[in-house]
Chains A and B, each alone.
Chain A
Amino acid sequence: KQEVTQIPAALSVPEGENLVLNCSFTDSAIYNLQWFRQDPGKGLTSLLLIQSSQREQTSGRLNASLDKSSGRSTLYIAASQPGDSATYLCAVRRDTDKLIFGTGTRLQVFP
């Protein structure tokens, strides 16, 4: 059974810092991995999708990497801003099956 864990569970940093959020999964046979952002009381916004054949994806200040063999993905946020404050979720998919969500990292960036 696939299990997805995110570390740290919560993170509070000053504005301007570069951040790394971690996602680990127990079954390396994945189809793709997706990173989401969730603001309090809201739905999820897709940030990046990495296919199993890819090593990384970039969008603006965000960079996500994937190491299937070690069962890990990282989300790198450059030059963090207060607007980045949210919960970040990773989710993995095996074949074309359903998404399995991680436990989430709650990020707060203070001015």
Chain B
Amino acid sequence: SAVISQKPSRDICQRGTSLTIQCQVDSQVTMMFWYRQQPGQSLTLIATANQGSEATYESGFVIDKFPISRPNLTFSTLTVSNLSPEDSSIYLCSGEIYADTQYFGPGTRLTVL
């Protein structure tokens, strides 16, 4: 199994600023992902974080708004840029090994004023 931690656990940000979320896995995983969960909704995949190369974004998500880094097999960051109130959500990272069980971090609750 894998234990995933995220920082910060929550934040309140002003409109127009950016927030960077860190995700750390306690063991090497082949894949890391970033999800968004809007209030009362299920999870929506933002992108797959690829080690050492550009992330693979899902339809409706772009690199300028959600830049992602993954410098090694156990760490990734997601930045949510130019924040607006519509970005208020829980952001979750996850990791898995070869399409097996996917493990999730505790999430980052973002509120944009």
Q: Which residues of A contact B (CB under 8 A)?
A: 31-32, 34, 36, 41-46, 49, 89, 91, 93, 95-96, 98-99, 101-104
Contact = CB atoms under 8 A, between A and B. Distances in A.
B103 A46 contact: yes
Q: Chain B at the A interface: mostly helix, strand, loop or mixed?
A: strand
B98 A44 contact: no
B42 A104 contact: yes
B101 A43 contact: no
Interface of B: 4, 6, 33, 42-43, 45, 48, 58, 90, 92, 94, 98-107, 109
B101 A34 contact: yes
B106 A43 contact: yes
A41 B98 CA distance: 28
Given A32-B99, A101-B43, 15 more contacts: A31-B99, A41-B90, A42-B107, A43-B92, A43-B106, A43-B107, A44-B94, A49-B100, A89-B42, A89-B43, A91-B102, A93-B99, A98-B45, A98-B48, A99-B45
Contacts of B99: 31-32, 93, 95-96
Contacts, number: 47
Contacts of A44: 43, 92, 94, 104
A49 B102 CA distance: 9
Question: Which of A34, A44, A45, A102: most chain B CB closer than 10 A?
Answer: A44
B42 A102 contact: yes
Contacts of A43: 4, 6, 92, 104-107
Contact of A49 (B45, B94, B101, B107): B101
Contacts of B105: 43
A103 B99 CA distance: 21
Contacts of B102: 34, 46, 91, 99
